[in-house]
Amino acid sequence: MSEYFQKQTSKIQLYRMSVYIKKATSYSRLEHIVFLTDNAKNLPASHFGKKEIDYVKAEFKNKSKIVFINQYNRTVCVVNISGDKKEAHDVVEAYRKAGNDALGRFNKTKAKQVVVVSFIGKPGLSIAFAEGMALGNYQFLKYRKDAAKERNSVRTILIQDESVSRRDAELLQISTNAVYNARNLVNEPQSYLTSEVLAGEFVRLGKEAGFSVTVFDKEKITELRMGGLLAVNKGSIQPPTFTIMEWKSANAKNKKPVVLVGKGVVYDTGGLSLKPTLNSMDYMKSDMAGSAAVGCAMYAVAKAKLPLHVIALVPSTDNRPDGDAYAPGDVITMYDKTTVEVLNTDAEGRMILADALSWAKQYQPQLVMDFATLTGAASAAVGPYGMVCMGKVDKGTVDALKQSGDAVYERLAEFPFWDEYSELIKSDIAELKNVGGSSAGAITAGKFLQHFTDYPWYHFDIAGVGFLHKPDSYRGKNGSGYGVRFIFDYLKKLSQ
């Protein structure tokens, strides 16, 4: 098994590229530069002519937030985002967005290296600006004939800021690479990214970052009787996989592991409950965005060597309507022996996640978080602006999760999770049915998952954000890598 995946990984390198991020110790008048300031008086006179300084001051008076000056052989950018934003995390986000805006100009002028210099004295803002630049610089060019020509010019971002440590810059590099990896995975079409190839990508990430990866093949999954995963896979000619990733630091702060679970449906046709194409099946290569989030968060955690014990589980298959496909009306015995009446084969995510959640019980986890493009209802409810979430954890944990969501601006929209919703998924002939009817679709999906948990657990429905149909600043368009930065931030704080 492992040999097979080793061979696969050497063959299947994604078209990978990132941007280099480093702390700088000096900067010169020869370099493309960004000055972050809250007062034009702080600008270093040696970098500006008098007319230029007057121009910058006048622009700031006119409420411009970004001013560009074309000098002889370089572009100088001055950023002044005054504190009119309500909350600290809104200000940080404004800096990320400004970073993305500035990036466009630097790529236009074919700049290769940009130095970000901060005169603000508040920590975190130059990092946020650099993050907006770095994430905004992402491109998916694997399938472009003229990739070399189309590639953005900016390759290096240097940060000159006394409040930024080398480690801060390193952590930004790590999280940027993790997000790039996640976006690549989501952008890959199913013609390339089968469940086995997805598992192979996790093996590759594990090797690069130093976490262990075990992949169960169809034989093993059958032996284990993971009925939910096998049922969804019945209509497919590609075998399913179940991937277990583990990072256990020698000085882990947590005695019981944190377990991440990600939906790895590499393509969702709906199965026999077939989806229409337009605005529905056409983007369902992205139905593995949850798995990309957890696998690439593992990459970040291991690269950063966080003193933690973290496990990630990815059940993976495509969902198709072939001759042997599972059908509405079928009763499936799940991995934990719960019986489920399938009334819609398009509610496949909960079927495969349920088996992974049951599997997680053996770890006696401190916390389990699952990430899934689970329901159109979640997407309809909050749109592309956040994650729908619900579950059973203590208030302190919810607060910490929300704080991380705000900090990285992958925000949490907490849904009600009252016991009564469980009534909606009771079956006439089995323990559960896999759909709850027309109301509260995101919540009944969550209630279905809850049935398979016996530990503190929180569910993140990322259906609205895993794949973006319009450019959204530094998040770009298409695969967003949503969830990676959120998980990484939460685990970083947990490890402190």
427 touches ligand BES by CB under 6 A:
no
User: CB under 5 to 8 A by kind: which of Zn ion, ligand BES, none does 186 bind?
Assistant: none
Report the residue from 346, 370, 406, 410 that binds ligand BES according to the rule CB under 6 A.
346
The CA-atom distances, in angstroms, between 104 and each of 17, 68, 152, 335, 473 are: 18, 12, 9, 50, 11
344 contact choice in ligand BES, Zn ion, none (CB below 5 to 8 Å, kind-dependent): ligand BES
Of 24-32, 96-104, 344-352, 408-416, the segment contacting ligand BES by CB under 6 A is: 344-352
HEC string of 225-269 equals CCHHHHHHHCCCCCCCEEEEEEEECCCCCCCCCEEEEECEEEEEC
**Partner from ligand BES, Zn ion, none contacting 137, C-beta within 5 to 8 A by type:** none
The reply on whether position 349 binds ligand BES by CB under 6 A is: yes
Stretch near Zn ion under the rule CB under 5 A, chosen from 121-129, 146-154, 302-310, 340-348: 340-348
* Both structure tokens of 208: 């690069």
**With the C-alpha atoms ordered 222, 227, 230, 231, is the resulting torsion angle positive or negative?**
positive
User: Cα(222)–Cα(404) distance, rounded to whole angstroms?
Assistant: 38
What CA–CA distance (Å, rounded) separates 2 from 199? 11
Partner from Zn ion, ligand BES, none contacting 37, C-beta within 5 to 8 A by type: none
- Judged by beta carbon distances under 5 to 8 A according to partner kind, the member of Zn ion, ligand BES, none in contact with residue 358 is none
Q: DSSP string of 420-435?
A: GGGGGGB-SSSSEES-
- Between 130 and 445, whose beta carbon lies closer to Zn ion? 445
Q: Which residue of the set 96, 183, 263, 350 is catalytic? A: 350
Site size toward ligand BES (CB under 6 A) is 16
At residue 488's C-alpha, the angle toward residues 487 and 489, to 5°, is 95
Q: Among residues 134, 463, 484, 494, which is the contact residue for ligand BES, using CB under 6 A?
A: 463
Q: Is 346 in the site for Zn ion (CB under 5 A)?
A: yes
Task: Work out which of 101, 168, 217, 268 binds ligand BES, going by CB under 6 A.
Answer: 268
Residue 186 is given by DSSP the state H
Cβ-contact 288, 265 below 8 angstroms: yes
DSSP 343: S
Please tell me the distance from the alpha carbon of residue 456 to that of residue 335, in angstroms, as a whole number.
20
Which one, 224 or 274, has the nearer CB to ligand BES?
A: 274
CA distance 260 to 372: 11
| Residue 96 annotated among the catalytic residues of the structure | no
Q: Does 440 bind ligand BES (CB under 6 A)?
A: no
Chain residues 175-204 in contact with ligand BES, contact rule CB under 6 A: none
Q: Nearer Cβ to Zn ion, position 196 or 268?
A: 268
Is residue 218 part of the annotated active site? The answer reads: no
- Within residues 237-276, the interface with Zn ion by CB under 5 A covers 265, 268
State how far the Cα of 141 lies from the Cα of 11, in Å rounded to an integer.
18
Residues in the chain: 496
* The two structure tokens encoding residue 176: 């940027």
Task: Give which of ligand BES, Zn ion, none residue 463 binds (C-beta under 5 to 8 Å, depending on kind).
Answer: ligand BES
Beta bridge partners of 309: 248
Q: Which does 306 bind (CB under 5 to 8 A by kind): ligand BES, Zn ion, none?
A: none
CB nearer to ligand BES: pick between 160 and 238: 238
Cβ proximity to ligand BES: between 125 and 289 the closer is 289
Q: Interface with ligand BES includes 131 (CB under 6 A)? A: no
Q: Does residue 200 contact residue 245 with C-beta atoms inside 8 Å?
A: no
Q: Which of 126, 373, 478, 480 binds ligand BES (CB under 6 A)?
A: 373
Chain residue at closest Cβ approach to ligand BES: 376
Interaxial angle between packed helices 289-303 and 166-187, expressed in degrees from 0 to 180 and rounded to the nearest 10: 150
Q: Which of 136, 290, 315, 349 binds Zn ion (CB under 5 A)?
A: 349
- 370 binds ligand BES per the rule CB under 6 A: no
Is there binding between residue 461 and Zn ion (CB under 5 A)?
no
Beta strands, E only, 309-431: 309-319, 331-333, 339-341, 367-372, 387-392, 412-414
Beta-carbon contacts of residue 286 (< 8 Å; ≥ 6 apart):
186, 373, 466, 467, 479
379 binds, among ligand BES, Zn ion, none (CB under 5 to 8 A by kind): ligand BES
Q: Which of 24, 159, 435, 440 binds ligand BES (CB under 6 A)?
A: 435
The stretches of 234-391 forming alpha helices (DSSP H) are 289-303, 349-360, 376-382
SS3 315: strand
Q: By CB under 6 A, is residue 376 in contact with ligand BES? A: yes
Catalytic: which of 29, 65, 275, 305?
275
Backbone angles phi, psi at 328, to 5 degrees: -55, 130
Q: Which of 91, 300, 377, 382 binds ligand BES (CB under 6 A)?
A: 377
Task: Please check whether residue 98 is in contact with residue 127, taking contact to mean a CB–CB distance below 8 angstroms.
Answer: no
Q: Between residues 101 and 346, which has the closer beta carbon with respect to Zn ion?
A: 346
Please identify which residue in 441, 446, 476, 479 interacts with ligand BES, judged by CB under 6 A: 441
Stretch that binds ligand BES, among 39-47, 136-144, 372-380, 468-476 (CB under 6 A): 372-380
Q: Which positions are catalytic? A: 275, 350
Residues that bind Zn ion (CB under 5 A): 265, 268, 287, 346, 348-349
Residues that bind ligand BES (CB under 6 A): 268, 287, 344, 346-349, 373-377, 379, 435, 441, 463
